[in-house]
Amino acid sequence: MILGIDVGGTSVKFGLVTPEGEIQHATRFMTADWVNGIGFVESMKKEIGEYLKKYPVVKGVGIGWPGLLSLDRTKVVLLPNIPSIVNVPIVEILRSEFPQIHFKIENDAKCAALGEYYFGSNKQRMQTFLLLALGTGVGSGVMMSGKLFLGGRGNGTEVGHMLTTRGKSLENQVGINHLIAYTKEQLALDTAKKSSLHKEAELSPKVIADHVSKGDALAIAVWNDIGTIIGESLVNIVRVMDINNILLGGGISGAFDYFVPNLKKAMLQHLPTYYTDDMYIGKATLENDAGLLGAAGLIMEAI
């Protein structure tokens, strides 16, 4: 049995994961409570200890972090949401506290790629693929010939921070907050108020997608534009990494059917048939469990 831990800026999720990918005994803690209480590291040690005491079958603990890690995977070197953890030798601390347990840490988006590899239902077990996590931020992970690709210093494939043809990062073009801001800009230009989105008190990717299904021209145009931006960015990644299996996850992937046609159109326009003849673009399958299962995948990789 593996203990998976998914660290986020809002909450920290714990869950026992079987080798088959079943999550048991999941618990959520508020990140702010840990930071403002006895401290993040002490809180993590305490809760891990409680789990290990209660479930002695656990042999390994995998932890996913929303930041950059040291090349030797012993500490987090950049984590804006939880600055108190930066450069703390978290793996050494945990191994010292629980010497009988195997610990591994990784970036959360890279964990999500591992999770899809070990537990996802896209598994004709693709050996090489890119996972693009489209949420508030844009994260990514690459499996290369069955191994997680880390890059030269351990933090490669930060796709969300690539510049687009419009001079902004991909994350600042298609992240959820920017998607909503862009939609509001388009609504402000719709002075005739033709769009049914004007009636919505609050916008979200799901709300905007729902209006596409109603034939709303403005909502359709928004998703077409998002698809084009992502598609143009994927052209760069496909060319650089020589990867043509792509999984799309995160909150925006719920609108997959609405933005992927333009995404594919952009890719087909700019890529030769070497890449496109057997190109696969699909939805990631683990949804809200991607973080926990991905963290567990770290231990699957080690055993």
Local confidence pLDDT in tens for the 303 residues of the chain: 899 999 988 899 999 999 888 999 999 999 999 999 999 999 999 999 999 999 999 989 999 999 999 999 999 999 988 999 999 999 999 999 999 999 999 999 999 999 999 998 875 668 999 999 998 889 999 999 999 999 999 999 999 999 987 888 999 999 999 999 999 999 999 998 999 999 999 999 999 999 998 999 999 999 999 999 999 999 999 999 999 999 999 888 889 999 999 999 999 999 999 999 999 999 999 988 888 999 999 998 776
Is 125:98 a contact under the CB 8 Å cutoff? no
Report which residue type is found at 200. E
Between CA 162 and CA 237 the distance in angstroms is 10
Number of domains in the chain: 2
Instruction: Write 224-227 long-range contacts (CB < 8 A, 24+).
Output: 224/259, 224/261, 224/262, 225/182, 225/262, 226/173, 226/174, 226/179, 226/252, 226/259, 226/262, 227/258, 227/259, 227/260, 227/261, 227/262, 227/263, 227/265, 227/266
Same domain for 95 and 240, yes or no, is no
Same domain for 150 and 99, yes or no, is no
Same domain for 138 and 264, yes or no, is yes
Between CA 131 and CA 281 the distance in angstroms is 10
Same domain for 272 and 134, yes or no, is yes
What is the reported pLDDT for 288? 83
Same domain for 147 and 234, yes or no, is yes
Q: Which residues contact 278 (CB under 8 A, 6 or more apart)?
A: 244
What is the reported pLDDT for 9? 85
Domain that holds residue 139: 125-283
Same domain for 258 and 130, yes or no, is yes
Same domain for 131 and 93, yes or no, is no
| Dihedral in degrees, nearest 10, Cα atoms 99, 102, 107, 113 | -170
What is the reported pLDDT for 58? 93
What is the reported pLDDT for 287? 84
Same domain for 247 and 298, yes or no, is no
What is the reported pLDDT for 19? 85
Structural domain includes residue 28: yes
Is 91:105 a contact under the CB 8 Å cutoff? yes
Q: How many CA atoms within 13 Å lie on the side-chain side of 90?
A: 27
Three-state DSSP state, 31: helix
Same domain for 88 and 184, yes or no, is no
Same domain for 212 and 275, yes or no, is yes
Q: Which of 107, 189, 112 has the alpha carbon at shortest distance from 156? A: 107
Identify the H or E element spanning 87.
none
How many helices (DSSP H) and strands (DSSP E) are in the chain? 11, 12
Same domain for 209 and 71, yes or no, is no
Structural domain includes residue 120: no
Same domain for 19 and 111, yes or no, is yes
Three-state DSSP state, 268: helix
CATH code: domain of residue 85: 3.30.420.40
> What is this structure's pTM?
0.90
What is the reported pLDDT for 233? 94
